[in-house]
Amino acid sequence: MYSLDSKLLQAWHSLFIQASDFYPDVDIPKVVVNSIEDSVILDNNTCISHICGLPLLDRFSQCLMPLCAPQFNLSSISGPHYFSYYVVRYDSAMRSVADAKGKVLAVNSLCSNSGFHVLRHELKTVFNGSIEDYFCKIHYTGSHRLSIQSILEGVSEFAAIDFATYEYLCVMNPIYRTQLRIIGQSYQSAAPPLVTHKNSPFCDPQLLTNALNSALNSLDQVTRDTLNIRQFHKVKLGDYTSQLLD
């Protein structure tokens, strides 16, 4: 889940509280846990999780199913999609991915679509070898926030950052707008979905989609601006299969 600080976490909490009030028969959870641990995601007491589409396919497709995904409030986004920005320090000489050859790459996780897989796809247009051969070193950071920090500290020189995370972080740290520079962006793919247990689905995908959209439209403007989500769309597992293709 995009819960990068207490304000965002509270906004998500408000969204689910409102959805629960509108649809009391569904018993939508009112407790939001900020965790990416597999044990929490797979726990039978966890009704809904918000995860990246790549691990959903790669690791969880036998036990989890997607329900819906957000359409972010960005003019270039149509439907429940997202992409990554290619980010460098403001004073870097790099102007494109092609200029990043031989540089130090920051990667949040090997199982991240936005931080790793989209970049592998991009490199196929400019390089015949592996991503490990393209960069002189890959620095695994653990999160997009830490990848940005790695670039600012000069430990790394280039990173693919989920655009929604980047925009959230720039709201929290406006100075990033001047400290960092975007030199490109990836193709669009299905946005991270809200998922439930496959063998005992929490609710119907369309029902949750309707509940969240009703809740979203009723939130105060400050909370809506914090979430930066236009609406939710029902999604299916097949929407994410392209994230596994090499």
Confidence at residue 146, expressed as pLDDT on a 0 to 100 scale: 97
1 domain-assigned: no
Do 27 and 120 lie in one domain? The reply is no
Do 138 and 175 lie in one domain? The reply is yes
Integer angstrom CA distances of residue 28 from 131, 146, 197, 206: 42, 32, 14, 14
79 domain-assigned: no
Quote the CA–CA distance of 168 and 164 in Å, as a whole number. Answer: 6
Confidence at residue 124, expressed as pLDDT on a 0 to 100 scale: 87
Do 92 and 153 lie in one domain? The reply is yes
Quote the CA–CA distance of 112 and 98 in Å, as a whole number. Answer: 21
Is the Cβ–Cβ distance between 117 and 53 less than 8 Å?
Answer: no
Confidence at residue 46, expressed as pLDDT on a 0 to 100 scale: 85
101: CB partners within 8 A, 6+ apart = 126, 127, 134, 135
156 domain-assigned: yes
**Upper half-sphere CA count for residue 55 (Cβ side, 13 Å):** 20
Confidence at residue 163, expressed as pLDDT on a 0 to 100 scale: 95
From 138, 171, 187, the end of a domain falls on 187
78 domain-assigned: no
Q: Which domain holds residue 57?
A: 6-73+191-244
Does the pTM exceed 0.85?
Answer: yes
235 domain-assigned: yes
Q: Which two structure tokens, joined as six digits, stand for 9?
A: 């976490």
Quote the CA–CA distance of 204 and 201 in Å, as a whole number. Answer: 7
Do 127 and 34 lie in one domain? The reply is no
Do 90 and 182 lie in one domain? The reply is yes
Do 32 and 17 lie in one domain? The reply is yes
Q: 160 — phi, psi (to 5°)?
A: -100, 120
Confidence at residue 106, expressed as pLDDT on a 0 to 100 scale: 98
212 domain-assigned: yes
DSSP symbols for 171-187: HH-TTHHHHEEEEEE--
| Residue 76 burial by Cβ neighbours in a 10 Å radius (0-12, 13-18, 19+) | exposed
Do 177 and 222 lie in one domain? The reply is no
68 domain-assigned: yes
From 167, 187, 207, the end of a domain falls on 187
Total of domains in the chain: 2
From 187, 214, 232, the end of a domain falls on 187
Q: Which two structure tokens, joined as six digits, stand for 201?
A: 């689905």
Is the Cβ–Cβ distance between 153 and 146 less than 8 Å?
Answer: no
96 domain-assigned: yes
Helix/strand number for the chain, H first, E second: 10, 11
Do 94 and 175 lie in one domain? The reply is yes
Do 143 and 212 lie in one domain? The reply is no
Confidence at residue 160, expressed as pLDDT on a 0 to 100 scale: 98
Do 133 and 161 lie in one domain? The reply is yes
Q: How does strand 81-82 pair with strand 137-140? A: unpaired
Do 173 and 200 lie in one domain? The reply is no
Confidence at residue 26, expressed as pLDDT on a 0 to 100 scale: 81
Instruction: Name the H helices within the chain.
Output: 6-22, 38-41, 53-58, 118-123, 131-134, 144-152, 163-172, 176-179, 205-218, 221-227
Short-list 87, 91, 83, 108, CA closest to 158? 87
Confidence at residue 39, expressed as pLDDT on a 0 to 100 scale: 83
Classify each residue of 100-133 as buried b or exposed e, where b means 16 or more C-beta atoms within 10 Å of its C-beta.
beebbbbbbbeebbbbbbbbebbbeeeeeeebee
Confidence at residue 246, expressed as pLDDT on a 0 to 100 scale: 52
Successive 10-residue mean pLDDT values, the chain, 246 residues:
85 93 82 75 86 89 94 91 97 96 96 93 87 96 96 98 96 97 95 92 90 96 96 95 72
Do 40 and 101 lie in one domain? The reply is no
Q: State the CATH number of the domain containing residue 171.
A: 3.40.190.10
